[in-house]
Amino acid sequence: MAKADKLTNGIKFHSFRIPAVITTTTGRILAFAEGRRHNNRDYGDVNLGNPTPMNHGDYSQNGGDRLPSGKKTKKINTSWEGRRHLFLTQSTDDSKTWSDPVDITKQLTPSGWSWDAVGPGIGITLSLGEIVVPAQGRNISYQTLKGAGSEGTIAQTPNGKLYRNDRAGAADNYRKVARGSLNAFSSFVLDKGLPDPACEAATLLYNKKDANGPARVIFMNSVHKDSRRHMRVRISYDADAKKFNYRRKLSDAPISGVGFEGGYSSLTKTADRKIGALVKTDFYQTGGSEGDHRAIV
């Protein structure tokens, strides 16, 4: 992706960022990412893409863009119509079709916020069926978490508790973690065993202890205080994911032709008990400007 990636519908995307990957109950792996049409920035014309695109390029958020219908889009503004919204949609057929998105901003975004970040870590289903999604400063659906990072991940550890592992500040150098339940969480503390360059990461409950082996929690991030290019996959055998003592490089060797691998990521357990991963890559053509193309591998 040395230049804009043109999809089959004719829409060009400058960059793809913020990966998420899940495995459905039928074993199908679904991959999602943000498609950023004009540059690699967090704002502007940002679309959600997966193997079955939700909007098929039929609308845009970048003011003045011409739609396939011939209409022009409106300029982004700070009104209710122009602010960031949270939408809920669901698929019951492994992503072949999706329900119409429902705006749930008023129910879930705290009053007075115009910028809200959900995830980027994937939501989870607890052993009793509850759905929990990590979000900026809180868990969705209803928990407020004092001290939580701006970007969070969540997993249910083998002992049944919830484990938040969040992006910390640029000067903190380590991950922020907390443990708790749907009712209450401990205070967030820096985990000195998990160095981090202030970036999103990925956490996954691989399995509880069973006939196939001990309990395992998987964690992936860049194990460097400054660079996002040192991706490692770690395993914890602790019931509460206290320590991740075992690790390996994500790739045995750099992948040719995809730029510099590392940064935002997502993990899933496949139907054949392997681990699938999506990771951002940066082509870094201009040294870090909004013109650098970014993709997902």
* pLDDT one-digit tens code per residue, 57-80: 333 334 455 544 555 555 544 455
The yes-or-no verdict on residue 222 having pLDDT over 60 is yes
Angstrom distance (rounded) from CA 70 to CA 59: 11
Pair 134, 10 in one domain:
no
pLDDT of residue 73: 52
pLDDT of residue 8: 55
Q: At 265, which CATH number?
A: 2.120.10.10
Q: Where are the beta strands (DSSP E) in 76-159?
A: 87-88, 102-103, 124-125, 131-135, 138-140, 143-144, 152-156
Backbone phi and psi for residue 284, each to the nearest 5 degrees, phi listed first: 55, 40
Pair 186, 136 in one domain:
yes
pLDDT of residue 81: 56
The yes-or-no verdict on residue 241 having pLDDT over 60 is yes
The yes-or-no verdict on residue 107 having pLDDT over 90 is no
For 151-162, the pLDDT digits (tens) are 999 999 999 999
Higher pLDDT, 166 or 44: 166
Number of domains in the chain: 2
| 3-state SS assignment for residue 194 | strand
Query: Which of 235, 250, 265 is a domain's end point?
Result: 250
The yes-or-no verdict on residue 206 having pLDDT over 60 is yes
Angstrom distance (rounded) from CA 154 to CA 44: 28
Pair 269, 245 in one domain:
no
Pair 240, 119 in one domain:
yes
pLDDT of residue 52: 46
Q: Where are the beta strands (DSSP E) in 101-249?
A: 102-103, 124-125, 131-135, 138-140, 143-144, 152-156, 162-166, 174-180, 189-195, 202-207, 216-222, 231-236, 246-249
Pair 181, 193 in one domain:
yes
Hey, what are 111's tokens?
A: 């009053």
Pair 71, 126 in one domain:
no
* pLDDT category of residue 201 using cuts at 50, 70 and 90: very high
Element of type H or E holding 262: strand 260-269
pLDDT of residue 47: 80
* pLDDT category of residue 111 using cuts at 50, 70 and 90: confident
pLDDT more than 90, % of the chain? 39
Pair 135, 219 in one domain:
yes
pLDDT of residue 110: 83
Angstrom distance (rounded) from CA 155 to CA 213: 19
CA 222 distance to own-chain centroid:
15
Pair 238, 166 in one domain:
yes
The yes-or-no verdict on residue 246 having pLDDT over 60 is yes
Pair 102, 177 in one domain:
no
pLDDT of residue 72: 58
Domain containing 270: what range? 1-112+256-297
Q: How many residues does the chain have?
A: 297
Higher pLDDT, 258 or 155: 155
pLDDT of residue 220: 98
Query: Which of 250, 265, 287 is a domain's end point?
Result: 250
Instruction: Give 147's strand partners.
Output: none
* Mean pLDDT score across all residues of the chain: 83
The yes-or-no verdict on residue 213 having pLDDT over 70 is yes
Please say whether the beta carbons of 101 and 88 come within 8 A.
Answer: yes
Pair 290, 262 in one domain:
yes
* pLDDT category of residue 104 using cuts at 50, 70 and 90: confident
Instruction: Give 89's strand partners.
Output: none
Pair 49, 29 in one domain:
yes
Pair 40, 93 in one domain:
yes
* pLDDT category of residue 6 using cuts at 50, 70 and 90: low
The yes-or-no verdict on residue 262 having pLDDT over 90 is yes
Range name among 35-44, 187-196, 242-251 with the lowest pLDDT average:
35-44
Nearest 5°: the CA angle 127, 233, 53 is 65
